[in-house]
Structure 1
Amino acid sequence: MKRYPLSACPLLLLGILSPHLMAGEPGGGFLEDSRLVLNQRNFYFHRNYLNNPGGQNRREEWAHGLTLDYVSGYTRGTLGLGVDAYANLGLKLDSGRGRTGTDLLPVDSQGRPEDEYSELGGAVKLRLSRSVLKYGSQTPLNPVFGTDNARLFAPRAIGFSFNSREVDDLLLDAGHFTAGNDGNSTNSDGALKALYAQVETRRVNYAGFLWTPSEGASLSAYSSRFDDIWRQHYLSVSQRLQLDAERSLTFDLNLYRTLDGGRQLAGEIDNTTWSAAVRYGQGPHALTLAHQRVHGDEPFDYLGFDRQSGASIFLANSVQVLDFNAPNERSWQLRYDLDLAAFGVPGLSFMSRYVSGDHIDDSHYRGGSNGAYGRYGEDGKRWERDIELRYLVQSGPAKDLSVRLRQASIRSSSEVARADTADNNELRVIIDYPLQLL
């Protein structure tokens, strides 16, 4: 849907709602089931590169984002009509021409960060029984086509989605999308891409299901097609076992199979990637061990937008900076979580993890005419260490305000660093404060 300047947002939102306001709809309808939330996010991002081949040694920006998010109920009757709408405003607090590139702020043609940016979008929706068809600007999240919220605002995809829960414990999910835009962009007709190949498609279709037959168990399967790039299939199984009141054991398996399709815009693709993880929890402590493998001479690739990535990579070792998805890569993860509520500080949590990858090799890449892949060399290695401290206010006027401190360090062999992400140390400070207005 078209984006508008922020100054037009209140008028447009009122225009959307006015027919229903005039109708004076009774309880349990369009207005009575509506929700209006103001989300505020304050984000500081600092990344210091070590021997960056691109020449920029530092990226540092500070920005504040506001999102007014409206979700309506449905009109009464067999077929219910509703609307979702949002308005975003991003403000520069600190940045500079030589420090851009964090994707918090858009950059003008001279390489300068914009002082502010804004947009308005929305979607219309139809409900029949427990099934919903929606068209417009959306943030779908599933293993083959997912948006995330890793910066000020989530990227948006424009198209159709269908969700159905006619059967208890079974979600049916399908979509058809033709465009998108980054979270730091106001372009309503941006590209949908293969993120690592950086080639565009103008049509993505997907369908799948999530089945939760019992508490702690789930089975999921999806299939997608990025026109003229690939066909991708996904399968996951998860099982949580409660050993006793204090101890639990959780097993997760994720598997992707990706094959080229159509005009092969990203070249030849024959890739199988999987991850397996086991998590042991005891009281406030949890320890996770994960292993991930890429079988293919090209990286495991997934959804991207003009500049930002999507979130359709449901693999254990896709972490803060790296995805550990390079050609033929093998990676291990060790993670520790601590809930400090058990020590008298409810809402405070700590996480630390270390992921190490090796055996990176695309020397046998068969390639394609555009050379989309084939840049990692052979016998590559890398690692990432993440530390996160998060506090969520539990009560009072600031209830639900959260503060996150996220630190990451990555190191790679030289060819891998040039092909993916250069060695760096990173710090993110993220403050979120949602206010429910309706």
Structure 2
Amino acid sequence: MKAQVRVPSSIAVCFVLSVLAGQVRAAGFVEDSKASLTMRNYYFDRDYKGTSAQSAAREWAQGFILKYSSGFTQGHVGFGMDAVGLLGVKLDSSPDRTGTGLLPYDVPSREPRDDYSELGLTGKMKISKTELQAGTISTFLPIAFASPTRLLPQTFRGAYLRSQDLDNLTLNAGWLDRINLRDSTSYQKMTVASPNGRFNPTAESDRFVFLGGDYKWSDSLTLKYYHAVLDEMYRKDYFGFEQIQPIGPGKLKTDVRYFITGEDGAAKAGHVDNRNLGMMFTYSVGAHSLGAGYMQLNGATAMPYLTGTEPLVVSEGSLSSEFLNPKERSWQVRYDYDFAGVAVPGLKGMVRYLEGSNIQLPTALGGDGLSESEKDVELSYVVQSGTFKGVSVRLRHAWYRNDFAPAASFRDDNETRVNIDYTLALW
């Protein structure tokens, strides 16, 4: 087993440790602490269609996520510490089926590792409703959304400030210098996601900064703005609008997301010029929800985002593609049902269809006027009582098709994912 202790921003963490040394018995630090263990069983099967060097990416693994969060010491400035221990264990894999993102593997031989583990530490301090964290960081923001979609979570190294001191306003600011991918035990410099040859995947940056916030205009309306810069690569502005309005017997949720992205400095990853407007409208009545969405990309390039993270666009949750190719126009329809409406609480289902067109890729990958589509089906259940109360089971299947050239990153596939999760509160 290869274990790695992730102790980023060591100066900040050591400073917090020195302060805590004399205050660990202070009221709040121990009394308000909590710990949990999440056990995650994950089966991933992406069956590629057509002739290719790899016919499938198929693996099965067991993950353990141990989290500890202290309270804060007493005083005007409170100090605390968080820790996360991660362990992933191979249950089934082989060199011809790696690349699912569940398990690390040796690149030349593609031999998967039997297990991998790591420890992340975070020092924190708090004044009123403002908290500063340094060390292992997880951000879930439109401009940097740490991926939770595989066996173990993806994290960053850096500092993160979050403040709710102003009424109805949540401010977020941060500085990140490294990323730890979801199937890795080591930090690395940040790169730009480059499927279908969108950008230079080898260009690296050690500085990502962001600032922005969410403003709750009213009980039904939230406005968002964020600015982010990946040093010498790109700069991005995000505008968000979320509103939930009662209409007739139900409620209409309007979700509008607009990204403007351009080059920064030397533009090491290549030319960046993108504007992405996405809209999702969802009407809910009782146990039923019906949604329709549209996303349009303008500009000379695709929309860049950090490798390993999740782009928080209206196609979020799609399994095989993010529908962010240059010039792409995509639409979707989605239906969700909560089976509590027929006296089966904990059971939920979803079906969705997404289609993208007007895609422009390099000639070697298919050229102009290309299209892609994905059909998603999902069923999830959380046990409500008894010995297995809290155990969650999630089944997902997708059919993805496109008319790209065989050399493109996205290929026709049928994909199945099965998750079984259980979180045990230790105290």
| TM-score, normalised with respect to structure 2 | 0.91
How has the CA–CA distance of structure 1 residues 281 and 360 changed in structure 2, closer, same or farther, with 3 Å as cutoff?
same
Correspondence for 1:390: 380
Question: What is the match of residue 265 of structure 1?
Answer: 268
- State the distance in 2 between where 1:397 and 1:422 align: 42
Trace 1:364-403 onto structure 2 (pairs within 5 A). Answer: 375=365, 377-403=367-393
**Is the contact made by 2:359 and 2:371 (CA closer than 8 Å) also made in structure 1?**
yes
Asked if structure 2 preserves the Cα contact closer than 8 Å seen for 1:328 and 1:362, the reply is no
Deviations 1:265-319 (A, max 9, x none): 1222111011111111111111100000010221111111xxxx20242334662
Distance in 1 (alpha carbons) for counterparts of 2:67 and 2:239? 32
Deviation, 1:241, is 0.8
TM-superposed deviation, 1:242: 1.8
Q: How does 1:130-209 map to 2 (within 5 A)?
A: 130-187=129-186, 189-196=187-194, 197=199, 198=201, 199-209=203-213
Deviations 1:35-82 (A, max 9, x none): 1010110000111101254x1001111000001101111000000001
> Partner residue of 2:312?
313
Q: AA paired with 1:256? A: F
Q: Aligned partners of 1:101 and 1:363: how far apart in 2?
A: 24
Contact kept in structure 2, 1:238 and 1:252, CA below 8 Å: yes
Change (3 A) 1:176 1:288: same
1:213 Cα deviation from its structure 2 partner: 2.4
1:225, distance to aligned residue in structure 2 (A): 0.4
Residue identity over aligned pairs, in percent, reads 34
| Residue number in structure 1 paired with 2:13 | none
**CA 1:280 to 1:203, structure 2 compared with 1: closer, same or farther past 3 Å?**
same
Residue pair 1:317, 1:324 contacting (<8 A) in 2 also: no
* TM-fit CA distance, 1:19: 6.2
Partner of 1:33: 32
| Cα distance in 2, alignment partners of residues 283 and 89 from structure 1 | 40
Q: 1:332 to 1:251 in 2, by over 3 A?
A: same
Structure 1: give runs of 5+ residues left out of the alignment. Answer: 6-15, 365-373
* 3-state SS of paired residue (2:407): helix
Structure 1 counterpart of 2:326: 327
Structure 1 segment 404-419 matched on structure 2, within 5 A: 404-415=394-405, 418-419=407-408
Quote the Cα distance in structure 1 between the aligned partners of 2:393 and 2:316: 24
SS at match of 2:280: strand
Between stretches 34-43 and 354-363, larger displacement belongs to: 354-363
1:128: which partner in 2? 127
> Closer, same or farther in 2 for the Cα pair 1:115/1:181, shift >3 Å?
same
Describe how 1:288-367 pairs up with structure 2 within 5 A: 288-304=291-307, 309-316=308-315, 319-362=318-361
Correspondence 1:92 to 2:94: no
Determine the structure 1 residue equivalent to 2:419. 430
Quickly say closer, same or farther: Cα 1:316–1:410, change in 2 above 3 A: closer
Select 2:258's aligned residue among 255, 260, 263: 255
CA distance 1:173–1:23, shift in 2 (3 Å): closer
- What is the CA distance between 1:21 and its match in structure 2? 9.7
State the distance in 2 between where 1:362 and 1:22 align.
59
Check if 1:68 corresponds to 2:57.
no
Q: Is residue 222 of structure 1 aligned with residue 226 of structure 2?
A: yes
The answer to whether 1:210 aligns with 2:214 is: yes
The SS at the match of 1:268 is coil
Say if 1:230 and 1:19 are closer, same or farther in 2 by CA, change over 3 A.
closer
Deviation track 1:3-49 (CA, whole Å, cap 9, x = no partner) reads 339xxxxxxxxxx79966985333xx111111101011000011110
* SS of structure 1 residue aligned to 2:150: coil
Does the 8 Å CA contact 1:71/1:85 hold for their aligned counterparts?
yes
Map 1:106-121 onto structure 2 (within 5 A). Answer: 106-108=104-106, 109-121=108-120
Q: Following the alignment from structure 2 to structure 1, what is the Cα–Cα distance between the partners of residues 313 and 175? A: 20
**Alignment check: 8 A CA contact 2:24 2:30 kept:** no
Partner of 2:247: 243
Structure 1 runs of 4+ with >4 Å offset:
16-23
Amino acid at match of 1:25: A
Contact 1:61 1:94 in 2 (8 A): yes
TM-score for both structures, normalised by structure 1:
0.89
Tell me the C-alpha RMSD between the 2 structures. Answer: 2.2
Is contact 1:317-1:355 (8 Å) kept?
A: no
What displacement does 1:393 show?
1.5
In the alignment, the residues of structure 2 paired with residue 51 and residue 296 of structure 1 have an alpha-carbon distance, to the nearest angstrom, of 32
- 2:160 partner letter: S
**Aligned amino acid, residue 231 of structure 1:** R
* 8 Å contact from structure 1 (residues 52, 422) kept in 2: no
Question: After alignment, is 295-304 or 313-322 more displaced?
Answer: 313-322
Contact 1:354 1:383 in 2 (8 A): yes
Q: Deviations over 1:132-189 (max 9, x none)?
A: 11110111110111102110111110001100000122100011000011122111x3
Q: Distance in 2 between matches of 1:410 and 1:210?
A: 34
What is the letter of the counterpart of residue 226 of structure 1?
L
How many equivalent residue pairs?
409
Partner SS state of residue 356, structure 1: strand
